[in-house]
Chains A and B, each alone.
Chain A
């Protein structure tokens, strides 16, 4: 398969707000701040933007930003979802728009008041009768299965049953991400260390998952600017070249967004199995070529399964791989170097894209020396997306 988009576009600018539990600002203000920061980082202004890609769950729309930022004219906009699988897919839309001549400079963003506004960990079900209309909630919610954390708890238990995965192995992921956050002043958990004893001593939420197996709740926004590599070379920052992007589904994703995924043939792997195959092929790279990875970490078990499904170890060995130190700084595959969703903040996959760019620029607070390839994944439950960034050579 010829990959016509390989190495042709780049992320030229990144911008973020602070990450907090109570921003005191509207989501529109957060996104506008992140977008302006990304443009400033690239040496561009709102005058230069002609494309916008958003996440389907964002409350901020393209026309909001056109008006608030003073973008003269958009010639392209689109959205990707559901939710957390979007960010690399959003960058993929930007690449497609640019290479098809529909836009030259695309703003990609995600912003949410994830703690002070609607909280993901709370059941959204407020009716006495639930389900119908294609949601399939009627087969799940009446049994008390009402949150993503409970789904991943069932998957984690099954992974333990099939492969002997342990709580300590999940804990190795939580403590590794926390150590990266301790190095990152922008991380929500920057000042709080996490030992294995802390991890194991924390309260159970949905067993076998404990408090620190869950990602943070965050108010914040992140944005990136995508343009051609040629143009990015003339801008303020060294380009983070987009080696390849991919969205991919499996043959049995199940309808809906999350609960029916428990009826897939396997609940110990994720659609990362499909996304990884397509992305590696498009990139002409394999897991052995990845210097550093930002793996979507709504929960620790999500990371553990992705270590397997992205080919960094065999199926069933994700726990041992994580506990070996391989995912730490200095390991064979340092992950989530800003602290990830578990400890930096939960901007629904988008902060992972920014951290990937920092690694390619050499500006991460947990910089992997000489990193030239960074994988960014967004492969939790639904069919997902991923991208590989490389240094400009």
Chain B
């Protein structure tokens, strides 16, 4: 990612903070229900499947595939000069579960292209990012 100023996430939200705490440890983690192991995504406290309020942040393999993408050619925020690419990534460990990513410029992409997560530290705020795997 290039460009300043950066748009950084709130990392201490009660429901989503664990995602960024895991990222700071170098892990990609999703919220899972302790009662039935359901994936709670986007993260929330209550499991509608089993009624449990108990959950955990469970690491997943930091790999996925490209589910969809868009090359943004019209900039709408000063932190993101065009062109850049927004990715929708499907996680290898949890098919059907997705995260968002960002790639600079206009990379050559195809559906199903493998991607690997990496962890970007911006002045102490760690954000999971994705890059194309050269397989």
Our pick among A130, A155, A256, A262 for the contact of B9 (Cβ within 8 Å) is A130
Tell me the bound Cα distance from A122 to B78 in angstroms: 11
Q: B residues within 8 A CB of A260? A: 42
Tell whether A285 is near chain B: CB-to-CB under 8 Å: no
Q: Is the CB of B88 within 8 A of A139?
A: no
Chain B 87-104, CB-CB to A under 8 Å as 1, else 0, gives 110000000111111100
B72 proximity list for chain A (CB < 8 A): 144, 150, 153, 205-207
Distance to closest chain A CB from B33 (angstroms): 16
Q: Which of A144, A147, A262, A267 has the most CB of B within 10 A?
A: A144
Whether A143 and B16, one on each chain, are in contact in the complex, defined by CB atoms closer than 8 angstroms, is no
A141 within 8 A of B: yes
- Select from chain A the residue with minimum beta-carbon distance to B101: A143
| Residue B115 is within 8 A (CB to CB) of chain A in the complex | no
* Residue-wise interface mask of A (218-240) relative to B, using a CB-CB cutoff of 8 A (1 in contact, 0 not): 00000000000000000000000
Given contacts A128-B7, A139-B99, A141-B9, contact A150 B68 (CB under 8 A): no
Number of interface residues of B (CB under 8 A): 42
Query: B73 touching A204 by the CB < 8 A rule?
Result: yes
Question: In the complex, what distance in Å separates the CA atom of A373 from the CA atom of B19?
Answer: 50
Bound together, the chains give a CA A253 to CA B1 distance in angstroms of 31
Min C-beta distance of A146 to chain B, whole Å? 5
Number of A-B contacts (CB under 8 A): 129
Write out the residue numbers on chain A whose beta carbons fall within 8 Å of the beta carbon of B77.
123, 125, 144, 146
Alpha-carbon gap, A255 to B42, bound state (A): 8
Contact for B98 among A121, A125, A144, A263, CB less than 8 A: A263
Nearest-neighbor residue (CB-CB) of A204 within chain B: B73
In Å, the complex CA distance between A155 and B98 comes to: 13
Which residue of A138, A141, A161, A256 is within 8 Å of B111 (Cβ)? A161
B82 to chain A, nearest CB (A): 9
Cα–Cα distance between A146 and B8 once the two chains are bound (Å): 13
Q: What chain A residues lie within 8 Å of B16 (beta carbons)?
A: 131-132, 136, 138-139
Q: How far is the CB of B70 from chain A (nearest CB, A)?
A: 4
- Picked from A123, A132, A158, A209, the residue with its CB within 8 Å of the CB of B76 is A123
Asked if A2 is at the interface (CB within 8 A of a chain B CB), the reply is no
**Which of B15, B80, B88 counts the most A-chain CB atoms under 10 A from its CB?**
B88
Given A138-B11, A154-B68, A158-B68, are A262 and B76 neighbors across the interface (CB < 8 Å)?
A: no
Q: Are A146 and B76 in contact (CB under 8 A)?
A: yes
Give CA–CA (A257, B48) in the complex, Å.
20
| A157 adjacent to chain B (CB < 8 Å) | yes
A139 touching B9, Cβ below 8 Å: yes
B84 within 8 A of A: yes
Asked if A163 CB lies within 8 Å of chain B CBs, one says no
- A393 interfacial by beta-carbon distance below 8 Å: no
Give the residues from 137 to 170 in chain A that come closer than 8 angstroms, CB to CB, to chain B: 137-147, 150, 153-155, 157-158, 161
Complex-state Cα separation, A260 to B77, whole angstroms:
20
Complex CA–CA separation, A145 to B85 (angstroms) = 9
Cβ B9 vs Cβ A206 within 8 A: no
Q: Which residue of B lies closest to A140 (CB)?
A: B100
Cα–Cα, bound, A128→B8 (Å): 6
Q: Is B25 an interface residue when CB atoms closer than 8 A count as contact?
A: no
Docked Cα-Cα span, A116 to B112, in Å, equals: 42
- Assess whether A138 is in contact with B13, with CB atoms less than 8 Å apart: yes
Report the minimum CB–CB distance from B111 to chain A (whole Å): 5
Interchain CB contact (< 8 A) of B73 among A142, A203, A262: A203
Say yes or no: B86 contacts A145, CB within 8 Å.
yes
Cβ of A140: which chain B residues have Cβ within 8 Å of it?
Answer: 100
Which residues of A have CB within 8 Å of B9?
129-131, 137-139, 141-142
Q: By the criterion CB–CB under 8 Å, are B73 and A144 in contact? A: no
Instruction: Tell whether, in the assembled complex, residue A155 and residue B68 are in contact, meaning their CB atoms are under 8 Å apart.
Output: yes
Chain A residues engaging chain B, CB cutoff 8 angstroms: 121-123, 125, 128-134, 136-147, 150, 153-155, 157-158, 161, 203-209, 254-256, 260, 262-263, 265, 267
27 inter-chain pairs at a CB distance below 8 angstroms, sorted by A residue, are A129-B9, A130-B9, A131-B10, A131-B16, A132-B12, A133-B13, A138-B11, A144-B7, A144-B79, A144-B80, A144-B86, A145-B102, A146-B77, A147-B76, A150-B70, A154-B69, A154-B86, A154-B88, A157-B68, A158-B88, A161-B111, A206-B74, A208-B70, A254-B42, A255-B42, A263-B42, A263-B97
